[in-house]
Amino acid sequence: MSPSTDSFEEIESAVVRFAGDSGDGMQTVGERFTDSSAFAGNDIATLPDFPAEIRAPAGTLAGVSGFQLQFGSRKILTPGDEPDALVAMNPAALKANIDDLPEGGMLVVNVDSFKKMNLSKAGYEKSPLEDEDFRKKYHLIELDLTSLTKEALKDSPLKPSDKARCKNFFALGFMYYVYGRPLEPTLKFFNEKWGERLPDLADANSTALRAGFNLGDTMETARNRYQVSKAPVQAGVYRKIAGNEALVYGLVAGAKQANRELLYAGYPITPASPILEGLSALKKFGVKTLQAEDEIAAMGMAIGASFAGDLSVVATSGPGMCLKSEFIGLASITELPVVIVDVQRGGPSTGLPTKTEQSDLLQSLYARHGDCPLPVLAAHSPSDCFDCAIEASRIALTYMTPVILLSDLYVANGAEPWKIPNVSELPEIKIKFADPNQELVVYKRDPQTLARTQAIPGQAGLEHRIGGLEKSEDGGVSYDPENHEKMTYLRAEKINCIAKSYEPISVQGEKSGKLLVIGWGGTYGAISSATKILQDEGFSVSSLHLRHLNPLPNDLESLLSSFEKVIVPELNLGQLSTILKAKYLCDIVSCNKVQGKPFKVAELREEFVKHLSAN
């Protein structure tokens, strides 16, 4: 059922947003649209946006769940600033999203749900669809989604209420028609998910999807069809990947490359739980997953497993990081490798648990007592989580240290196409345990990395004690003031050494000029896109996205001095810019946003232009 191409308008990219009740299956249709677009060869970026409550009262603004994606025939780095098309399943979804839809944008509404009760729950005194100005402002397509779906499924043995729930796929089918998406990946999905277990449901959803698609074909108002050609990408095998998923695979790969068993300990927390769930499903890879009694326990289990020789990992979000702090100090002083993932969300405290933010950088760098520097790195996109997980494993094992890997909700839940790496080309992590034939000196250090050697329990002749009390080089408890100072310096110097192992930093654009934009983490897409637009317009602007936030790259300082102005956009009140100012004594412009939402390309572009135009 591949659509014909005769009546298409060719466009470079499009942004589509689905919005409905949190029980309406908006995340599911968003993911299916993503898969279909990936299958069609487009580049994509997604932004799931859902409320903290699993099912807030139906029909209310609090319960609106959305999924936005951008797909295109060019490189797509963000899910798009504003939608070209909005699908609103009820009045609340309309109200919560309509301000983002530009004039002339396509608006598909489920008119069946525009009843008095739902209108009132959404705070509408009367239906906006009755307002002539409103109707003229958008390209409005009114569909009786609920009744159309029930009609399409009149022969299905499902209960009427279950039939009505297939309306999300009816709507999806309609949007597939508009954007010329292939149905095959979604039909395959239905079959794989429900084909055996609930064949009636698989059939009903397939029928609803096809009916929605066919409706588009017969409807006058849907005659504007768009075509988005394949994106020019490097040859290879691709798949769609979400951030947390990529992180899971990266951890498994890191352990394999290091020839260690992987032990993961975690406590459920949004938005890190999918890492616990993902790894728990990988027992075939020998992954041990422990669901701990709390965040502290998870960290303790990881430290114990690390002492026993596993590659141990924990993942959490901001509040969980607070709880782990004391244990992270223990891992630092005992010099044990642990990968600590913080999938950031809006804070402080419970804050905005389902919205994105980059506000745990200072916490990651400093929230421990004593002088306790640790390596910190940040993933900048869903697929980058894979590479960062391997890099974090490398640093942890090579330098015998806990490592903090920052992700964020936007990166964790977002998805993009990923060129699947060849396993045989992954970097090897060759770290040996202590040799039982040699006398063990617990804190004797490798001259290059300053890392101590790890001796694991079970080896005769290497029995030794470690712990939270300061030690001398031979592993004995030491209260000697000069020894403490020496060990504190050594631990700090060891962390500084890590920078020597980095690849040179990679700048988007010239290595000198008027404006340098420095970012980190999930703002990569927006910063890169805004920079590219301005470069194409002839402005002297370059951007740098830092993966390593501690220690900072050794080649950063000279780059900073090669630009007239440096701007640091962050989804916090200026955490990286504070660090850069303190470390390099340079002038930095902060550009901040803390609304639980990612930067829009347009707002960054506007901000950059302001600094490029100023003298």
Give, as ranges, the residues between 477 and 506 that touch another protein (CB under 8 A): 477
Give, as ranges, the residues between 294 and 313 that touch another protein (CB under 8 A): 294, 296-310, 312
Residue 134 in contact with another protein, rule: CB under 8 A: no
Q: Which two tokens stand for residue 515?
A: 């404006």
Helix (H) or strand (E) holding 8: strand 8-10
| Residue (116 or 465) nearer to another protein, CB | 465
Measured from the CB of residue 325, what is the shortest distance to another protein in angstroms?
11
- Is the Cα torsion angle 314, 316, 321, 323 positive or negative in sign? negative
Among 144, 261, 470, 603, the residue binding another protein under the rule CB under 8 A is 261
Question: How many CB atoms are located within 10 Å of the residue 378 CB?
Answer: 30
Helix (H) or strand (E) holding 256: helix 243-258
Residue 123 in contact with another protein, rule: CB under 8 A: no
Residue 476 in contact with another protein, rule: CB under 8 A: yes
DSSP string, 313-365: EEEE-HHHHHHHHHHHHHHHHHT--EEEEEEE-B-STT-BTTS---TTHHHHH
Among 57, 102, 160, 461, the residue binding another protein under the rule CB under 8 A is 461
Measured from the CB of residue 458, what is the shortest distance to another protein in angstroms?
6
- Is the Cα torsion angle 278, 22, 411, 231 positive or negative in sign? positive
- Contact (Cβ atoms closer than 8 angstroms) between residue 206 and residue 348: no
139 beta partners: 106
| Residue (154 or 284) nearer to another protein, CB | 284
Among 136, 151, 457, 610, the residue binding another protein under the rule CB under 8 A is 457
64 beta partners: 21
Give, as ranges, the residues between 153 and 172 that touch another protein (CB under 8 A): none
CA–CA separation, 265 and 242 (whole Å):
21
Residue 589 in contact with another protein, rule: CB under 8 A: no
Among 74, 464, 514, 611, the residue binding another protein under the rule CB under 8 A is 464
Selected range binding another protein among 112-120, 139-147, 231-239, 530-538, rule: CB under 8 A: 231-239
Give, as ranges, the residues between 21 and 50 that touch another protein (CB under 8 A): 35, 38-39, 41
> Phi, psi (5° rounding) for residue 18?
-105, 135
Packing angle, helices 199-218 and 167-179, rounded to 10 = 40
Cα angle 541, 406, 346 (rounded to 5 degrees) comes to 90
Selected range binding another protein among 66-74, 88-96, 109-117, 453-461, rule: CB under 8 A: 453-461
> Phi, psi (5° rounding) for residue 401?
-150, 150
**Ordered alpha helix ranges (H), 90-235:** 91-97, 116-121, 132-137, 145-152, 160-164, 167-179, 184-194, 199-218
Residue 437 in contact with another protein, rule: CB under 8 A: no
Residue 104 in contact with another protein, rule: CB under 8 A: no
568 beta partners: 590
Measured from the CB of residue 587, what is the shortest distance to another protein in angstroms?
42
Among 55, 126, 444, 465, the residue binding another protein under the rule CB under 8 A is 465
Among 161, 234, 613, 615, the residue binding another protein under the rule CB under 8 A is 234
Residue 468 in contact with another protein, rule: CB under 8 A: yes
Q: What is the bridge-based pairing of β-strands 288-291 and 262-266?
A: parallel
Helix (H) or strand (E) holding 601: helix 601-613
Selected range binding another protein among 105-113, 232-240, 340-348, 598-606, rule: CB under 8 A: 232-240
- Contact (Cβ atoms closer than 8 angstroms) between residue 564 and residue 611: no
Which has the closest alpha carbon to 313: 343, 270, 355, 344?
343
CA–CA separation, 58 and 52 (whole Å):
14
Measured from the CB of residue 296, what is the shortest distance to another protein in angstroms?
6
Among 222, 253, 395, 541, the residue binding another protein under the rule CB under 8 A is 253
Helix (H) or strand (E) holding 563: strand 563-570
| Residue (88 or 301) nearer to another protein, CB | 301
| Residue (41 or 553) nearer to another protein, CB | 41
| Residue (255 or 518) nearer to another protein, CB | 255
Selected range binding another protein among 47-55, 91-99, 261-269, 372-380, rule: CB under 8 A: 261-269
- Is the Cα torsion angle 508, 590, 551, 558 positive or negative in sign? positive
Residue 469 in contact with another protein, rule: CB under 8 A: yes
Measured from the CB of residue 32, what is the shortest distance to another protein in angstroms?
11
Please, which residues have CB within 8 angstroms of residue 322's CB and are 6 or more apart in sequence? 363, 367
Among 133, 196, 463, 536, the residue binding another protein under the rule CB under 8 A is 463
Residue 233 in contact with another protein, rule: CB under 8 A: yes
Q: Which two tokens stand for residue 60?
A: 């209310």
CA–CA separation, 574 and 377 (whole Å):
17
| Residue (96 or 302) nearer to another protein, CB | 302
Q: Which two tokens stand for residue 327?
A: 């244990």
| Residue (134 or 285) nearer to another protein, CB | 285
Measured from the CB of residue 374, what is the shortest distance to another protein in angstroms?
17
CA–CA separation, 50 and 70 (whole Å):
18
| Residue (394 or 548) nearer to another protein, CB | 394
The interface mask with another protein, positions 181-210, x = CB under 8 A, is ----x--x---x------------------
Among 6, 99, 423, 585, the residue binding another protein under the rule CB under 8 A is 423
Measured from the CB of residue 78, what is the shortest distance to another protein in angstroms?
21
Encoded amino acid at 294, one letter: D
Among 326, 428, 485, 493, the residue binding another protein under the rule CB under 8 A is 326
> Phi, psi (5° rounding) for residue 226?
-120, 150
Measured from the CB of residue 396, what is the shortest distance to another protein in angstroms?
15
Measured from the CB of residue 249, what is the shortest distance to another protein in angstroms?
6
Give, as ranges, the residues between 357 and 396 that touch another protein (CB under 8 A): none
CA–CA separation, 520 and 406 (whole Å):
10
> Phi, psi (5° rounding) for residue 58?
-55, 140
Which has the closest alpha carbon to 358: 435, 294, 410, 303?
410
Among 95, 256, 494, 548, the residue binding another protein under the rule CB under 8 A is 256
Measured from the CB of residue 242, what is the shortest distance to another protein in angstroms?
12
| Residue (216 or 382) nearer to another protein, CB | 382
Q: What is the bridge-based pairing of β-strands 507-508 and 513-520?
A: unpaired
Measured from the CB of residue 245, what is the shortest distance to another protein in angstroms?
9
Measured from the CB of residue 313, what is the shortest distance to another protein in angstroms?
12
